[in-house]
Amino acid sequence: MNTRLKFTIGLAGTLALALSACTSSDPGIVEAMKQADEKVETKKVDGAEKREIPTADLDAPSDEVVAAWDRKDPEGEKHLYKWDKANAKTMHNYWKQLRCLRGKMKEEGEKVFGSEPGGPEQEQWEQFKRAYILMVADPWQQRLFAEQGQDVLSKSKLIGHILEAHELIIDAYPKAYNDSDQTEVTIADARWTVVENKVVDYSAKIGAPLKFPDLDNPKDLKNWEKFCKDVVLPHKRKKTK
């Protein structure tokens, strides 16, 4: 008897023993398989049987399940409100400093409108822009995080608006003035107004209204100019002991 024939006979014998073991020791297995086949519904289509394709459709979730999915944290953002209210004076001061940073960027940017490409005004703008961002605007943000810590991002809702406004100052406004594009300047101004309104509205909501100086008042104007000078010329600040 050759090797292939021996293997075939041996395999057949093994299968027969396995089937016999299943049916004799646990007849429920075969019966369960048979019943599973019988449970599949069939329909006759044009005289031929057509089996229904099983689906994974589940029952709709109960009201209790939906309520669990829709559960809201009873505290919500209250921890942010509490922190911002307790630190409103400091956070509002940052916003006022941003107003100064924006004002200086716009002041210098306006000088380049209508100037000759490659002319002295353009060169002066390029020099100012680079120095202002690298030596004033970017370090301003670094000082903020040094003073408040990186965790201010999780403690304050105002910080999001502050960072958004800072991005306008170092990115949107410079790009608009680079191209002397009044439309882009107007868009940047509109975005600034939206963010500032959010700051004002939110501050009022938490019971810490944000107050701006009255620049029509000579005294307020003088104080504001001094305040802004210290912001845009940080090297002039007095060192604290």
Digit-coded pLDDT (tens) for 12-33? 455 444 445 444 445 555 565 5
- Between CA 97 and CA 231 the distance in angstroms is 6
Asked if 195 and 165 count as a contact pair (C-beta separation under 8 A), the reply is yes
**pTM as predicted:** 0.67
- Between CA 199 and CA 215 the distance in angstroms is 20
The reported pLDDT for the residue numbered 219 is: 95
| Sign of the CA dihedral with 181 first, then 186, 189, and 191 last | negative
The reported pLDDT for the residue numbered 239 is: 45
Q: Is 44 helix (H, G, I), strand (E, B) or coil?
A: strand
Digit-coded pLDDT (tens) for 166-225? 999 999 999 999 988 999 999 999 999 999 999 999 999 999 999 999 999 999 999 999
Which residue type sits at 209? P
Cβ burial of 169 (10 Å; 0-12, 13-18, 19+) is: buried
What are 50's strand-pairing partners?
A: 43
The reported pLDDT for the residue numbered 79 is: 86
Digit-coded pLDDT (tens) for 38-77? 554 555 555 555 555 555 555 666 676 555 555 555 456 7
Asked if 109 and 171 count as a contact pair (C-beta separation under 8 A), the reply is no
Phi and psi based region of residue 113 (left: phi greater than 0; alpha: psi -120 to 50; beta: remaining)? beta
Is residue 36 over pLDDT 70?
no
Confidence of residue 100 (pLDDT cuts 50, 70, 90): very high
The reported pLDDT for the residue numbered 116 is: 81
The reported pLDDT for the residue numbered 61 is: 64
Digit-coded pLDDT (tens) for 106-134? 999 999 988 888 888 889 999 999 999 99
The reported pLDDT for the residue numbered 224 is: 96
Which residue type sits at 239? K
